[in-house]
Amino acid sequence: MNNYKALVFFDLDGTLLDADSKIPIENHQAIAQLKKNNILPLIASGRSPEEIKQITKGASIDSYVSLNGQFNVVENEVVSKHAIPLKQIQELMALSESLGHSLACYTETEYAARYSTESMEKLYQLDHAPLPQISADFHKKYEIYMIYLFSEDEGKDLVYREKFAETFTFFRDSPYSLAVVLNGQSKKAGIQEVIKTLELDHLPTYAFGDGNNDLGMFEAVDTAIAMDNASAHVKSHADYITKSHLEDGIRFGLKHFELLD
């Protein structure tokens, strides 16, 4: 590992990506310049490792906290991973099906849903991502690191949280879905694991984000930077507010903290 001077964590949607869920050229250039300045850029996202690799293809970035802290990689080496026990997956499936909600299980490289629903289709359309394969026993064949629960009925969120209070943490990250991880896991925990495992506690850390699921990430770093397109609530938890993700906000924020020339 290089002798880095700082770590910078980036959320993807609404932060590093443009309106088409792609990394714009100016952000490609900013990431390359960070590496040249001996600063380590990392993605911190609810997306899977495979999705992150596809999105960042061609960019100078090979480190990420993925699946909301469940699978974490630095310079293409796995730092930590947390598989969900089969019994707990099956218990969640039983409740979700009784409420009419489908869910998708995520491995390191692929994902599959129990059955298709309108909410599921809306989520993947929103993310510009391929729909999951449909499989009744995918979760029995592979190690599962995260679950996506497809529901637009926010009134039922509490049912899940109360039933699985000792097992899962539920992040509502879109109007159509909740990301489900093991208790104790999150972007925050994943970032902390990366920093601790690599013994980089002495380095300054920064994070760029725009959503409610980025608040934990903000807590894990020294300096939290909210995009201008973030909600007032997210902005209230930031140390600095940069321009929006559609107005070169990443580069603007990096320059403000003298991380770019």
Determine whether 11 is an active site residue.
Answer: yes
Rounded Cα–Cα distance for residues 149 and 87 (Å): 17
- Catalytic-role residue among 11, 13, 173, 210: 11
- Dihedral sign (CA 176, 239, 187, 244): positive
Residues 11, 211: contact at Cβ < 8 Å?
A: yes
Q: How many residues does the chain have?
A: 261
Q: Quick one: which of 17, 24, 145, 131 has its CA closest to 81?
A: 145
Instruction: Quote the Cα angle for 52-58-62, to 5°.
Output: 50
Report, as residue numbers or ranges, the catalytic residues: 11
